[in-house]
């Protein structure tokens, strides 16, 4: 990946990889010492390093979901390394047919074309419901 890849371009590669379910490509978007925090997950999740990110994304293939990212708005900040992205994952569970919309906000710090810090504020409970958890 080019060291000149913008935060916006890296974010786009990230959501494209997630929605296309290409977990093998996603860890390359992260720096070796990247920190990922998902404070709204239950329990909250903190991943440190590309290997932890790789392990996290390996579960993507087993998820029975087809989804797209829609209503994407990217906000640039005074810090050229940081963007805030608002969007929704919309899709359906391929096993149950249940449709879902999961609002998301990502805050990314990209340095040298790689994610070094990432905060994921999506609706984790909504994604759990889409997966069939909570009996809903």
Contact predicate 124/45, CB 8 Å = no
Buried b (16+ CB within 10 A) or exposed e, 69-106: beeeeeeeeeeeebbbbebbbbbebeeeebebebebbb
**Helix, strand, coil share of the chain (percent; to 5):** 30, 40, 30
Instruction: Judge if pTM exceeds 0.75.
Output: yes
Note the pLDDT tens digit of each residue in 65-94. Answer: 899 999 999 999 999 999 999 999 999 999
Q: Residue 136: pLDDT band by 50, 70, 90 thresholds?
A: very low
Instruction: Name all domains of the chain by residue range, CATH numbers in brackets.
Output: 7-135 (3.10.450.50)
């Amino acid at each position: 990946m080019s060291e000149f890849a913008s935060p916006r371009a890296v974010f786009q590669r990230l959501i494209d990889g997630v929605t296309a379910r290409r977990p093998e490509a996603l860890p390359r978007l992260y720096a070796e010492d990247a920190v990922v925090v998902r404070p709204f997950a239950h329990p909250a999740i903190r991943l440190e390093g590309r290997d932890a990110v790789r392990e996290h994304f390996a579960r993507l293939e087993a998820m029975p979901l087809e989804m797209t990212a829609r209503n994407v708005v990217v906000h640039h900040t005074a810090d050229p390394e940081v963007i805030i992205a608002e969007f929704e994952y919309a899709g359906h569970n391929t096993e149950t047919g249940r449709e879902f919309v999961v609002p998301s906000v990502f805050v990314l710090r990209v340095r040298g074309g790689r994610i070094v810090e990432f905060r994921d504020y999506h609706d984790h409970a909504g994604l759990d419901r889409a997966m069939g958890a909570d009996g809903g």
